[in-house]
Amino acid sequence: MEEVRASSAWVATRSAHVVVDSSGIEKAVEEIQGSIPKVKWDFEGIHYFDNGPLTVQYLFVLDALNFCFWPDKDLNYDNLALGLKEALQDDKSVFDADHLQKITGPQLRNLLKWPRPLPLENERVRLLHEVGLELERSFEGKAYKLVESCGKSAANLVALVTRHFPGFRDHSLYKGHQVFLYKRAQIFAADLWGAFEGQGYGEFNDIGSITIFADYIVPAVLRQLGILRYSSDLASIIEANREIGSGSEEEVELRACSVYAVEKMRELLSKKSGNQVLSVELDLWLWSVGIRCQSLQHHRTLSIYY
């Protein structure tokens, strides 16, 4: 995703609130001794997988909803992934396109066995309606048809998803410049690649084109590793759990500088090891570190994009 890399680099070279520390990158690479600790895609055992089209439908619904858990302190990604898995095991038609177009907030809560309104619940319902409608209109109601249309190219898949589904168009304006981040569209490609182990629906000849998925967790882990440094004002806001506006300079810098920093980390790891290093693998490792760290403080932004 060259537009993600290029626009993130543009932000990183002009950032006022977040600094990418090259010495921190070198230290982190030294500490992991030139290779990324391997983390299995479904290391928690929370995802649905049947090695077929239903898994693709599940992953697309999952990634349509994979955002903004923090306003409910008891809710996290595991609740979403496992809740959708169990719903699909109970009813194989639950994510059919016509069902998605009619789902309500209470019905979504019931699927997830969640006792109260979800954060940004109306937006989650709107996005499911959008997914159901466009899948039916352009892909015979099937997410696997969408995947088959990409010609085994992860970059093409991201382009298709963002073209057909406006809710995946994760970009911002920063100092008059368009910045592309595409977290949920890219993670759909990465989830397919991870779930199907690079075969079948997960076979992409350009998986290396995918960047990390700029969210809440990765910037916080990069800061903990000494790779990102924050201005005192930004650090104070995060440490006080104050909300940062979606599309604000601070928020765009946190996300774009994370992408840029991990790209630099990937380049250094590749150089030291002599092997191709994938941003997808780096992201999974960083995220697995973050979710195991109970004391990790992340930024708080209300957003449908992550």
The H or E element spanning position 5 is helix 2-12
Q: Residue 65 and residue 167: Cα distance in Å, rounded?
A: 10
Bridge partners, residue 180, by sequence: 171
**CB 87, CB 111: distance < 8 Å:** yes
State how far the Cα of 46 lies from the Cα of 24, in Å rounded to an integer.
33
Q: CB burial class (10 A; 0-12, 13-18, 19+) of residue 291?
A: middle
- Two tokens at 135? 């899948």
Nearest CA-CA partner of 131 in 107, 159, 98: 98
Q: How far is CA 297 from the centre of its chain?
A: 18
One of 170, 191, 215, 283 is an active-site residue; which one?
Answer: 215
DSSP-based three-state secondary structure for 147: helix
Amino acid at 241: N
Say whether 206 is catalytic. Answer: no
Residue with tokens 């910037």: 219
CB 225 within 8 A of CB 261: no
The residues annotated with a catalytic role in the active site are 215
